[in-house]
Amino acid sequence: MKKPKFALTILTTFLLLTTSNIFAQLSSKEVDALVEKSIEKFNVAGVAVAIIKDGKVIHKKGYGVKSINTKQAVDEHTNFQIASNSKAFTTAALAILVDEGKISWKDKVKTYIPEFKMYNEYVTEHFLIEDLLCHRSGLGLGAGDLMFFPNGTDFTIKDVLSNFQHFKPVSEFRTQFDYDNLLYFVAGELTARVSGMSWEAFIETKIMNPLQMNNSHASLKDIKDKSNLATPHSTNGTENNKIKTIQGFEEMVNGAPGGIVSNADDMSKWVLVQLNKGKYGDQLDKQLFSPERQNEMWKLYSVLPADPDPRYKQHFNGYGLGWFLADVKGNLSVSHTGGLPGMLSIVTMIPDLNLGVVVLTNTENGGAGVFSAVSQTILDSYLGLDDYGWIDKHASFLESQKNVDNEAVKKVWETVNKAKNIKIKNEDFIGQYEDKWFGKMEIFLKGNQLWFKSLRSPKLNGPMQLYKANTFAIKWEYQDMNCDAFASFSLDEEGKAQSIKMKGISPTIDFSFDFQDLDLKRVK
């Protein structure tokens, strides 16, 4: 569902690729060597790759293992969570409803979901279906994601629809791109209300079944046979960058932002219907959505800075409906990344070359390096570009990010260790605090240790240790992702805590941990 921070960083250098198709693509053996080198370089468990060219799937293959525990090999049918690459399926679902005459992109969301309420009356009344899909709501990056990261919370679609009113906008409505997930939950709910079936049922019935994506699923929890399901892995919190298996992320409201599970074989069929302007079937005599709808999904709604790198000569960059779009040497690139704990993916198409590339991985953090280096190297081979050494470049970038993060985090815990002998009055901090959208948190003594826990997000609990002044560092028991946090207290004249502001400790913390948006007030 989320987009990994690294993916956001490299998107403007990646979405980008096209020129005349003069030189031949990499051979399958060269792709094999590229992927195997990437797996070793980035310390990734498993990868699946598909290449689609001129209406044919010319390469689809698995590499590495589904799990470091079982050592079972990945193949082209091995399922991975595709995370935010699900967003394009959501926009396609709505496009089908537009083709059926049941909705219009310009319809107001409140027409179908009367209880939908944004942060002010004007935005609520003028919020259109297309606004759900292009990240220009005025809310900040990942606003409200903490309701679902980490998973296992008790928030519902009712909470999502009512909580937008409590978020503070960071820009004027429709003026700035800030990636979000929550509004795609609303899009999924709207799909359900209009169609009369759940988002998951609609995706499987109206998209996956016609395209014969027979091994794909709209929800992880609905998979009965998990024998060919990749296990997520992570290096977070391990020594010497050792990878470990982690728990799979299950959607809790609907899968519209990131719930789909698919594989290289089935994703090839998805790319083909995109490159064929909605047509599918052996004779391309069937239509999933009309060319008009595709043009609307592939139109810029939100503008991003163009990349000045002369290698690709990008002139524009932005977001359509469920896709990132860019101009490269006068041609269109259509792309999206996806990231969930231990699962990272990328889909890229260059329609002018009738070319598509899919890379699926099951390891965080190295998966971002693999999907970037592999995709870019394959695409460059079609563009007649020189070998740019993408593996080494992305490895260097990831290493520099890791070093910056490690140094910053190390200093925090060194400061915490030095503060261990400072006496504090635990009773001044113990109590219950509440945020309008995130609900209640409790601070209590566990033995002699102050402990912090969320009542609605059970995985967010852990010991509090003094950092500086009235600020504590929290090390969550949940360590599948890098998300430890600061909690800073405001005190009354008697020294008793009255409120809490929070933020992530790591400078590279994933944006879905939007602790900074919380405003916790003492209620008990």
Tell me: the pLDDT tens digits for 296-308? 999 999 999 998 8
Tell me: the pLDDT tens digits for 51-62? 999 999 999 999
Q: Indicate the angle between helix axes 28-42 and 390-418, nearest 10 degrees.
A: 10
Mean pLDDT across 189-196: 98
Cross-strand pairs, 53: 56, 355
Mean pLDDT across 329-348: 93
- Distance between CA atoms of residues 510 and 339, nearest Å: 10
Burial 155-186 (b: 16+ CB within 10 A, else e): bebebbbebbbebebeeebbebbbbbbbbbbb
Q: What are 340's two structure tokens?
A: 């969930």
CB atoms within 10 A of CB 401: 17
Residue 400 CB-density burial (10 A; 0-12 exposed, 13-18 middle, 19+ buried)? exposed
- Distance between CA atoms of residues 66 and 80, nearest Å: 9
Mean pLDDT across 225-231: 95
Helix (H, G, I), strand (E, B) or coil at 38: helix
Q: Give 2's pLDDT tier (boundaries 50, 70, 90).
A: low
Mean pLDDT taken over the chain: 93
Has residue 333 got a pLDDT over 90? Answer: yes
DSSP annotation string for 381-431? HHHT-----HHHHHHHHHHHHHHHHHHHHHHHHHHHHHTTT----GGGT-E
Tell me: the pLDDT tens digits for 99-136? 999 999 999 999 999 999 999 999 999 999 999 999 99
Has residue 169 got a pLDDT over 80? Answer: yes
Q: Give 13's pLDDT tier (boundaries 50, 70, 90).
A: very low
Q: Could you give all domains of the chain from N- to C-terminal order, each with its CATH number?
A: 5-387 (3.40.710.10), 426-522 (2.40.128.50)
Is the distance from CB of 17 to CB of 383 less than 8 angstroms?
Answer: yes
Q: What are 378's two structure tokens?
A: 């394959």
Has residue 40 got a pLDDT over 80? Answer: yes
Has residue 235 got a pLDDT over 70? Answer: yes
- Distance between CA atoms of residues 320 and 5, nearest Å: 20
User: For residues 15 and 159, which has the higher predicted lDDT (pLDDT)?
Assistant: 159
H, E, C per residue of 158-170: HHHHHHHHHCCCC
Residue with tokens 């979000």: 180
| pLDDT, position 14 | 41
181, 201, 360, 310: CA torsion to nearest 10: -50
Q: Give 24's pLDDT tier (boundaries 50, 70, 90).
A: low
Has residue 328 got a pLDDT over 90? Answer: no
| pLDDT, position 18 | 36
**428 residue type, one letter:** D
Q: Give 313's pLDDT tier (boundaries 50, 70, 90).
A: confident
Give the closest residue to 196 by CA, choosing from 102, 266, 104: 102
